[in-house]
Structure 1
Amino acid sequence: MASDAPARTVRDLTGLLNSAGHAMNNRLAAALADVGLTPRMQCVLVHALEEERTQIQLAALADLDKTTMVGTVDELERRGLARRRPSAADRRARIIAVTEEGRRAAEQGQRIVDRVHAEALEALPEPARAAFVAALNQLVEGAPGDGPRPVRRARQRATT
């Protein structure tokens, strides 16, 4: 029986990248779970330590929607790793301040993240590793003049 599906002329790059990303996320989640962190928590802690940032700024950097960000910060607060405090610049905004315990957790988490990434790259021959990372960066960032990355839209609720 003949297939009516169009012939693929190029390897399914989207599928490959999604599969690779899924595998890396699973490895990272399992490794960070050993120290009680999630990849989201680690990401928020690291970005909050870089400089004073609001919850909204951190959500954008971590590519998290508002609901996920609130839950993540709630959990960081519950564990004593971070706390919300009012912004001096905008009383409506909340700064996510990392506690000393949170700083230690972020440092430990970053060692784990670095190890997981290094282990993944070990699957490639040494000369190809830097080129692979550079190529991925170029795919993500795009060529000069491509413009900004698309904005992630909030999920729409179904109306009945």
Structure 2
Amino acid sequence: MTAMAPARTQPDLSFLLDRTSHTLRTRMAAALGEIGLTARMHCVLVHALEEERTQIQLAEIGDMDKTTMVVTVDALEKAGLAERRPSAKDRRARIIAVTERGAALAATSRRIVDEVHAEALASLTPADRETLLRVLAVLAEGPLETPAETPRPTRRARQ
């Protein structure tokens, strides 16, 4: 005999956010892959262009662990898109400097990211788009800003 699952009384927020996030990540990966970038490479390039930032600062912005960050910067260096340099502010620190070629590719990748986002929101009315983005920002900067501490780390979906 099988037990009947209780009827849901509320939408499954976890499923909705997980599903849409996964689909958006796969679309972003495909679009950026066409120009030879990953989402992480894009993130490092655009944030390194904004101001002088260390590898550690960029890893925090991109929510990357140290190993992933090193691999990402190594790939950017190998492609001639960025390089590690001593910081002008702190000679002990090293920053990630974007090359001219990297800056040009970052401009292209920004356009691609904007297009993927626009496509994802295209079925919504302008008012619904504005509401969705505003409410997600409230959640991201408020109650869902900080992950809970757990004895076993929660695995993220494989990218």
Q: TM-score, normalised by structure 2?
A: 0.86
Q: Aligned residue for 1:110?
A: 110
Corresponding position of 1:120: 120
Q: What is the CA distance between 1:93 and its match in structure 2?
A: 2.4
- After TM superposition, the structure 1 = structure 2 runs for residues 1-160 of structure 1, keeping only pairs within 5 Å, are 1-3=1-3, 8-142=8-142, 149-150=146-147
| Stretches of structure 1 lacking an aligned partner (at least 5 in a row) | none
3-state DSSP of counterpart to 1:115? helix
Are the equivalent residues in 2 in contact too, given 1:29–1:39 (CA < 8 A)?
Answer: yes
The runs of at least 4 aligned residues of structure 1 exceeding 6 Å deviation read none
Q: Which ranges in structure 2 are unaligned for 5 or more consecutive residues?
A: 154-159
Counterpart residue identity of residue 79, structure 1? A
Residues 6, 92 of structure 1: CA spacing in aligned structure 2 closer, same or farther, 3 A cutoff?
farther
C-alpha distance in 1 between matches for 2:16 and 2:27: 17
The normalised TM-score by structure 1 is 0.85
Given that 2:41 and 2:76 are in contact with CA atoms closer than 8 Å, whether structure 1 keeps it comes out as: yes
- Kept in 2, the 8 Å contact 1:55–1:93? The answer is no
Match of 2:157 in 1: none
1:90–1:150 CA distance, 2 compared to 1 (3 A): farther
Question: For residues 130-152 of structure 1, what are the alpha-carbon distances to aligned partners after superposition, in whole Å with 9 as ceiling and x for unaligned?
Answer: 11111111111116xx9x62489
The amino acid of 1:56's aligned partner reads I
My pick for the range that moved more, 131-140 or 106-115, is: 131-140
SS in 1 for 2:53: coil
Residue pair 1:82, 1:102 contacting (<8 A) in 2 also: yes
Query: CA 1:82 to 1:151, structure 2 compared with 1: closer, same or farther past 3 Å?
Result: farther
Q: CA RMSD in A?
A: 2.3
When the two structures are aligned, how many residues end up with a matched partner?
Answer: 152
